[in-house]
Amino acid sequence: MIITLNGGCERIKSTINNILRRYVMEFFKSSIAAFISIFINAFDFKGVMARGDFWKSQMVHLMIFLPLMVAGLLNPDVMLFKALHWGYALGVFIPIISSTCRRCRDAGWNVWWILTMYIPAIGWIPAFFILTRRQNIC
């Protein structure tokens, strides 16, 4: 047996869709803005970066980086994919390092702790712990 509510469900669906669309669009706009801000502050190693902005910029970075990497791996004979992958990787290297330094400083850790990310296999564990901490309020 199917119960209809004379269009009530449709109004609820459209309201939920409008709310979701608005919040999802705001989230992606703020994520793109956070990603652009790491390029604007690329050589600012002394400031701080909020946890939300850091992770939003990392999300956009991965959304660009992973498809380029996979395309390069799946098509090893096509040099265009490798060139795009390595060009992007070199282009974001300094901005990613500087944003990570600012995030460490914001979390209250010494900047030199980001070197733990480069320890093979286990380096992500201390880096993840440091970068997900709340803002250090003095």
DSSP letters along 69-135, please? Answer: HHHHHH-TT-HHHHHHHHHHHHHHHHHHHHHHHHHHHHHT--GGGGGGGGSTTTTHHHHHHHHTSPP
- pLDDT above 90 covers a percentage of the chain that reads 27
| pTM across the whole model | 0.74
Which residue ranges make up each domain of the chain?
8-131
**74-132 pLDDT, tens digit each:** 888 888 888 898 899 999 999 999 998 888 888 888 888 888 888 888 887 887 787 78
